Amino acid sequence: MYKAIIVDDEKWIVEGIKAGVDWGAYGFEVVGSAENGLDALTMIDQLRPDVVFTDIKMPLMNGLELIKTGRERLPNTLFVVLSAHAEFAYAQKALNYGTFGYCLKPFEVEEIHNMLKRLSDVLSTRPQESVLPPSPELYEAICANETDLVKKIITRSEMNLHDKHKIQPLVIVVHGNKSPVISGTIKHLRFQMSPRRLGCLVYENETEVLIRSLLSNSKESWCSIGIGYALSDLSELSSSLEAASLASYGMFTTGKPGVFHAPPHTNPLIEEVLRNLSQAMEQKDRIQFSAAMNHARLQFRSGAFSIKDAYLIFTALMTLFYREGVSGSARVYEGYEQLSYHYGDADAMIDYLMEHTLGYLSEEQPGLKTEVSHKTIRKMLEFIHDNFTTEISIQSLSERFYLSPNYLCHLFKKEVGENFIEYISRLRIQYACKLLAETDLAIKHIGEKCGFNDYFYFTRIFKRIVSQTPTQYRESISG
């Protein structure tokens, strides 16, 4: 049976159409009705009807807005306008939105029957989706680990669960106004997890086909799809869905749309980043802080860090803000979705954290040339002071600040009084002196933290600038 919804703010019209028309004769069933466009839109999302009969003038959201938004969310749903003679101009405008047709009030039963015949002829040529309507009951049962209820719902959908047909959960996030559309005859079961997130159960051997369908129907929107692990034991469904949900934030972490697999349960790299951030805040070391955050940024872009790691970094720094009395910069988000929605991607989150934290650590910024008047060189110096422990070259600076390498070298020497290599080497050695005095780190490790990958080169530059080796310097300040 094809599913139909009737939308009209005059209840007697709805009831009259439902009772006076032989819907079943043309293969239709009225599955719902609404008195305004807003309620109808919610019903469309939940029931995914084949056809919607809608009035034009209604409260909260009129028929034209409903048609426009409804077609964006469900392009395969057909819309028929119910219009009085006085609203005929509106009906004609609705045709421009891609409506199937219109019926003029007062209705003749024969006119409605003719419309149903035309609708049935069109719908019969379309492949039907093997899917039940989105089931909030299913998602609630999965979250509550009610395995018997989950099994009952899945069995009701005629999805058989055994070793040869393992089920795989997906979580789909579409960044745009359109809802995910799955075409063809792929058997699957979907459920709404939040306004922007759709869960889906599909047979493992059809996962790739379903994903291709999703991506081909989401060309105007950016789509992020998380894949959980396949299972034949429903007691594992909750954890697999959670893994898919974490993976679905891949667009937040990498900054790119795509298909993402479940991240590992533990990530030793995040522990190192959190430890370095904590030490940097305790010691008010902006250099260590910048290095740790830039390292985290690269891990996010490569996909090594997940939304869980982003949340750990964010909440850890907010806790440190509170502890250090910088509560004005602290924010709290209740979960991954709020964090993702507010910042959009991990790059923006890191930019926010660096902007606020480096301001708190600004008193520790060594030797910034305040007398430099050239605006571009001043910005360049600020960038160098925040990143001198990373790999920085004349070429990378010229690309970042839109200056030719030769002109940059000339301008830098003129404004700063020394060339770029001398300047960055001095900054690195100043930082090395700080670490030698305040930490027990091995000298080789200190060299690496300051941006020197070669131990012997580090000691040679250190001695040239300080007139002592790193070992001699540490002994002289400790004695």
Residue burial 23-61, b: 16+ Cβ < 10 Å; e: rest: beebebebbbbbbbbbbbbebbbebbbbbbbbbbebeeb
* Residue 460 and residue 383 in one domain: yes
**154-158, 237-241, 270-274, 345-349: the lowest-pLDDT one:** 154-158
- The predicted-structure confidence for 165-199, as pLDDT tens digits, reads as follows 788 898 888 665 555 666 556 778 888 887 778 88
Considering the domain boundaries, does residue 53 fall inside one? yes
Confidence tier at 131 by pLDDT (50, 70, 90): very low
* Residue 107 and residue 140 in one domain: no
- Which CATH number goes with the domain that contains 397? 1.10.10.60
Out of 261, 281, 316, a domain closes at: 261
Q: How far out from the chain centre does Cα 124 lie? A: 37
> pLDDT at position 182, please?
63
* Residue 174 and residue 252 in one domain: yes
* Residue 323 and residue 280 in one domain: yes
Q: How far out from the chain centre does Cα 101 lie? A: 38
Confidence tier at 96 by pLDDT (50, 70, 90): low
> pLDDT at position 132, please?
47
> pLDDT at position 388, please?
87
Cα 72 to Cα 218: distance, rounded to the nearest angstrom: 11
Cα 398 to Cα 380: distance, rounded to the nearest angstrom: 10
* Residue 427 and residue 311 in one domain: no
* Residue 104 and residue 26 in one domain: yes
Out of 261, 282, 314, a domain closes at: 261
Considering the domain boundaries, does residue 130 fall inside one? no
Is the bond preceding 106 in cis, omega lying within 30 degrees of 0?
yes
Considering the domain boundaries, does residue 128 fall inside one? no
Pairing of strands 222-227, 167-175: antiparallel
Considering the domain boundaries, does residue 370 fall inside one? no
The residue-averaged pLDDT of 119-148 equals: 73
Q: What angle do CA 281, 287, 291 make, to 5 degrees?
A: 95
Instruction: Tell me how many domains the chain contains.
Output: 4
Considering the domain boundaries, does residue 467 fall inside one? yes
C-alpha atoms less than 13 angstroms from C-alpha of 444 in its C-beta half-sphere: 2
Cβ neighbour number for residue 165 with a 10 Å cutoff:
15
* Residue 353 and residue 395 in one domain: no
> pLDDT at position 84, please?
66
Residue 191 to residues 114, 156, 196, 255, Cα–Cα distance (Å): 35, 14, 12, 26
Per the structure, the complete domain to which residue 194 belongs is given by 136-261
Cβ neighbour number for residue 179 with a 10 Å cutoff:
22
Which pair of structure tokens corresponds to residue 10?
């005059």
Please list the alpha-helical segments (H only) found in 124-178: 136-143, 147-156
- The predicted-structure confidence for 404-459, as pLDDT tens digits, reads as follows 999 999 999 988 888 999 999 989 998 899 889 888 889 999 999 888 988 899 99
- pTM for the full model? 0.58
- Which CATH number goes with the domain that contains 57? 3.40.50.2300
Out of 123, 149, 175, a domain closes at: 123
* Residue 388 and residue 470 in one domain: yes
Is 50 exceeded by the pLDDT of residue 238? yes
Contact between 226 and 237 under an 8 Å Cβ cutoff? The reply is no
Cα 391 to Cα 295: distance, rounded to the nearest angstrom: 12
> pLDDT at position 225, please?
92
Considering the domain boundaries, does residue 464 fall inside one? yes
* Residue 150 and residue 211 in one domain: yes
* Residue 254 and residue 178 in one domain: yes
Considering the domain boundaries, does residue 54 fall inside one? yes
- Which CATH number goes with the domain that contains 148? 3.30.70.270
* Residue 357 and residue 388 in one domain: no
- The predicted-structure confidence for 54-90, as pLDDT tens digits, reads as follows 887 787 888 788 887 887 777 778 888 877 644 555 5
* Residue 387 and residue 352 in one domain: no
